[in-house]
Amino acid sequence: MSLLFIAPDRDLESWEKAIHNIDSNIDVEFWPAIKDKDRVQFAVCWNQPKHVMDSFPNLKAVSSLGAGADHLLADKHLPKSIDICRVVSPSLIQQMKEYVTAAVLNIQRNLVDYIRQNDQKKWQPHSHSLASELSIGVMGLGKLGQPVAKQLAEMGYQVSGWARTSKEIEGVKTFSGDKDQKAFLNATQILVCLLPLTTKTEGILDLNTFKQLKENAWVINAARGEHLVDEDLIYALDSNIIQGAWLDVFSEEPLPDKHAFWNRENIIITPHIASFTKPHEVAGQIVDNYKRALSGMELNHKINQELGY
Q: Which residues are catalytically annotated?
A: 224, 272
Does position 66 interact with ligand OXD (CB under 6 A)? The reply is yes
221-258: b or e for each residue (b if 16 or more CB lie within 10 Å)? bbbbbbbbbbebbeebbeeebbbbbbbbbbeeeebeee
Question: Binds 195, which of ligand NDP, ligand OXD, none (CB < 5 to 8 A, cut-off by type)?
Answer: ligand NDP
3-state class (DSSP) for residue 29:
strand
Does position 85 interact with ligand OXD (CB under 6 A)? The reply is no
Contact 24, 16 (CB under 8 A): no
Which of the residues 244 through 303 are near ligand OXD (CB under 6 A)? 275, 277
Question: Binds 164, which of ligand NDP, ligand OXD, none (CB < 5 to 8 A, cut-off by type)?
Answer: ligand NDP
Return all residues near 76 (Cβ < 8 A) that are at least 6 apart.
none
Q: For the chain, what's the residue count?
A: 309
Q: How far apart are CA 31 and CA 64, in angstroms?
A: 15
Does position 223 interact with ligand NDP (CB under 6 A)? The reply is yes
Of 60-68, 118-126, 205-213, 299-307, the segment contacting ligand OXD by CB under 6 A is 60-68
Beta bridge partners of 245: 219, 267
At 71, which amino acid appears?
A: H
Of 14-22, 183-191, 218-226, 278-286, the segment contacting ligand NDP by CB under 6 A is 218-226
Nearer to ligand NDP, 43 or 139 (CB): 139
Does position 285 interact with ligand NDP (CB under 6 A)? The reply is no
Which of the residues 96 through 135 are near ligand NDP (CB under 6 A)? none
Nearer to ligand NDP, 129 or 198 (CB): 198
